[in-house]
Chain A
Amino acid sequence: MTDALPVVLNINGLKYEFEVLPYRSLLDVLRDELGLTGTKECCAVGECGACTVHFDGRSINACLMLAIEADGGSVTTIEGIAAPGEMTRVQDAFLEHGAVQCGFCIPGMVMSAEYLLARNPHPTEQETREGLSGNLCRCGGYNRMLKAISSVSEESTP
């Protein structure tokens, strides 16, 4: 049978060393073994974006990456996107605009929005839609999310 393999991962600025079975996804490990349940599992095939995290600074679906593949890298999850007890401007804007309905897609949406704005601080609405196209909201609450993201874009210096 296959054995567990050692992994070293930096997650939200903390170093984790553990052993993992090779067929466990990064998402499985974050949620089930490390208790970081802010990252959601929904479709598990890379379509819904609920499991979006940043790996080595790039937005990815944690359900489509094996934990062993992440060995040696850095992961930022929703728990680590802001300093403890604080929120990012995107998170504040989601609250201000009532952009959260059931909330299940929101961690992934925030991770995608942060990634988009970090690379393109002033996206057009079309660019924002493209940037979020890998994240599905079953409540259909997209318009308020777009407004929230647009408000963050407007308040930063062009």
Chain B
Amino acid sequence: MKPFSYQRPGSLAQTFDLLSEYGSSARILAGGTDLIVGLRQQTVDASVLVDIKGIGEFLPGVALVDGHFVIGATTDISRICEYEKFRATFPALVEAMETVGSVQIRNRATLVGNVCNASPAADTVPPLAIYGAMVNVGGRDGTRLVPVQEFIQGPRQTALRPGEFVLSIQLPVPNAPLGVGFARLTRRRGVDLATVNLSCSIDSVGTVRFAFGAVGPRLVLGVDRSGVLADSGAPAGDRDAALANLIAGTSPRTDIRGTRDYRSAMLLVLGRRILAEAASRLGSGQP
């Protein structure tokens, strides 16, 4: 690795000072599972790492505050998955989180880091968007909440402005019945990046929302309010046409993980599958 210096601020104020002092040559270090790889492979350049794990204001773990789960920037994925209430509230997100890397990676990698890495193939992003996740961005002048699908603006591009970093992710506890599904396709099971990943929700009035990942420079969202996708008894042809209509908003590429046509075809197959899962979860009262 190229030499860099290391700072471990003890407070948010000190962190903002460091970010304004070092500007774009500083990188935030939390879990490090993407950052250290980037530094070693020299795809990331940094002269200072600002380790945020010593910030006193960050609460460990996951907190439930005013109907929202708050996941701090230093909370690793394994830790989040240990909370039973969280697992029961966001099962599709937990499925996605448990596909990230390996045990060793999830014991270090943070959910916030997965979002900030802004990979178009990030598995947690489609379900985060479907559950209405907001990214809590902190700066010297205060905080602002940005929906996750707006926060990630393209490959490796986020809505962060100079001097800002992400403090937490907020997930609203659904206040009405909701069923959510998640699926991903990989070349092999286990530790691999997604060829496609997607999540969908069905609510009690028949609105269906889809989020498609790895099939465009940023997340592709679609909504069906016709009730056809929510109705498992509707003719299969009508349902496929409605789903294809949503998939038409994607722009998959051909690359090492699959061709454009293959990705589109798999979105339809997996889309049907997670619709069934979301419907079953809606029926069982589990989100």
Contacts and interface: CB of A to CB of B under 8 A. Distances in A.
A45 B37 contact: yes
Interface residues on B, range: 20 to 34
Interface residues of A, number: 32
B6 A5 contact: yes
A100 interface: no
Interface in B124-143: none
B36 interface: yes
| Most interface-central of A21, A49, A61, A133 (chain B CB within 10 A) | A61
A115 B105 contact: no
Interface string A102-125: 000000000010011000000000
Interface string A39-64: 00000111101001000001111011
Interface string B1-15: 111111010000000
B253 interface: no
A59 B32 contact: no
B40 to A, nearest CB: 6
Interface stretch (B96-104, B155-163, B259-267, B272-280): B96-104
A22 B4 contact: yes
Interface in B170-220: 190-191
Contacts of A25: 1, 36
Contact of A133 (B2, B40, B53, B190): B190
A68 interface: yes
B221 interface: no
Nearest to A133: B190
A40 B91 CA distance: 36
A83 interface: no
Contacts of B6: 2, 5, 22, 66, 68
A1 B104 contact: no
Contacts of B102: 49, 133-135
A130 B106 CA distance: 12
Interface in B211-264: none
A44 B40 contact: yes
Contacts of B191: 47, 133-134
Contacts of B37: 45-46, 64
A46 B103 contact: no
Given A115-B103, A134-B105, A69 B41 contact: no
Query: Which 9 residue pairs across A and B have the least CB separation, nearest first?
Result: A134-B102, A22-B6, A2-B5, A133-B190, A23-B1, A58-B107, A134-B104, A61-B104, A45-B37
13 contacts: A23-B39, A45-B37, A45-B40, A46-B105, A47-B191, A52-B104, A58-B107, A61-B105, A63-B36, A68-B8, A69-B51, A112-B103, A135-B102
Given A22-B49, A134-B101, A135-B102, 20 more contacts: A21-B3, A22-B4, A23-B1, A44-B40, A45-B41, A46-B33, A46-B36, A59-B103, A64-B36, A66-B29, A66-B36, A68-B51, A69-B29, A69-B32, A69-B51, A69-B53, A112-B104, A130-B103, A134-B102, A134-B105
